[in-house]
Structure formats: structure tokens, C-alpha cells
Amino acid sequence: MAENPPTASAKAELRRELLAARRALSPENRRTAAAALAVSSFELPELAGAHTVAAYVSIGTEPGTRELLDALRAAGKRVLLPLLLPDNDLDWAAYEGPASLAEAAHPGKMRLLEPTGPALGPDAVTGADAVLLPGLAVDGRGMRLGRGGGSYDRVLERLERAGAHPALVVLLYDDEVVARVPEEPHDHPVQAVATPSGVHRFSP
């Protein structure tokens, strides 16, 4: 869905600032944050009580998810991971451990790690009890700022059309819970944020 120009400009500027801050983190700081994030995430009842979790494999300077994915599997959760489609929509496949991931090349995109199991279809996400959304920031109202690619906007639209209401959770660094993010009518609030130092939950 197209962004209106003033909001698009505000989002772009905030994205630049947040991505620069992520690039400034040392590899050691990112590893430490990923380990803490795997622990803090399980403080969320939305994840602790979930049977199926739609997650993602972090790339670049994103808060690391690899330890969390393995912790979810170890806790008996069914974990779904995305497969990027040519039109930027997402298909899904089950995560069966680190050996089930392979590097996938997508023209114009970063090289992604994707599951090698059978594709379950874009609608598989509607069966998840919780959906982990990548993002750059969330504000005190639970409004999320994404990367701007639109893939997860489609996921959220698909959930809405299906009448599915999984818990929406964003994984961030501590300083990415901010006072306010620019929003548009199609933006969806999330229920919770997990950061390395703890969790934030938002009232509906």
C-alpha cells in the first residue's frame, strides 16, 4: 500500500537513523543481544503459550533470532519461517533446525537463509498463534515501523482477511522502543515487544 508523501518522508528519515545505529553495534554486542533476546522472549505469555510461531531468520544487523528459533523448537513449538516470493509476498515452511536452512539468492535483496522443507503456502501463517515481525522501532502505543519492503504488510492483510488474530510480537534492541513512530491508516499495532533487557506489552 502506498505511503503518503509526508509520512513516507518521516518514516524514511527515522529508518536511516535506526539503521545507522544498528550498523554501529559491534559483532560482540549483537551476539550478546541475541542471547539475551532468546531468554527475554520467553517472558512473553504470547510465545510461552503458543503452539505454532511464525518467525524469521535475522539478517545483517537485525536483532539475532537464531538462538530464539532453536529455543522455540526445544520448547516443543512448531516454527514456521518465510520463503520470499518474486512479488515480495511470503510463503512459509517449517523450521527443522539449523541444518534445514539454506542460503537463497533473491535479485536485489540480501542473501537470505530460508527453510528447505516443503512450502506450505502463504496462508499457512493464518494458523499461527504468534507472529514475530521484523521491525526497526515500536512506540508506546504498539505502532511498528518496518523496513518498508511491504512483505509483512501483506502478511498482516492476509491475517485480517482470514479473521485470524495471532499475537503480534516485534524483536528489537533496547533503544528501539521509542516515543512515537509515523503511522498510516493501514499500519497495525502489535501486542508486545521483546528486547534484550526485557519485554513491553501493550493494551489492545
Specify the pLDDT at position 172: 97
Share of the chain above pLDDT 90, in %: 77
pLDDT band, residue 184 (cuts 50/70/90): confident
All domains of the chain in start order, with CATH = 5-201 (3.40.50.10420)
More confident residue, 132 or 185: 132
Specify the pLDDT at position 145: 93
pTM of the model: 0.92
CA atoms lying within 13 Å on the CB side of residue 187: 22
What is the C-alpha radius of gyration for the chain, rounded to an integer number of angstroms? 16
Specify the pLDDT at position 124: 98
Q: Quick: pLDDT tens for 44-94.
A: 999 999 999 999 999 999 999 999 999 999 999 999 999 999 999 999 999
Q: Could you give the CA distance from residue 105 to residue 55 in angstroms, rounded to a whole number?
A: 20
pLDDT(150) > 50: yes
Residue 100: all three cell numbers together = 534445514
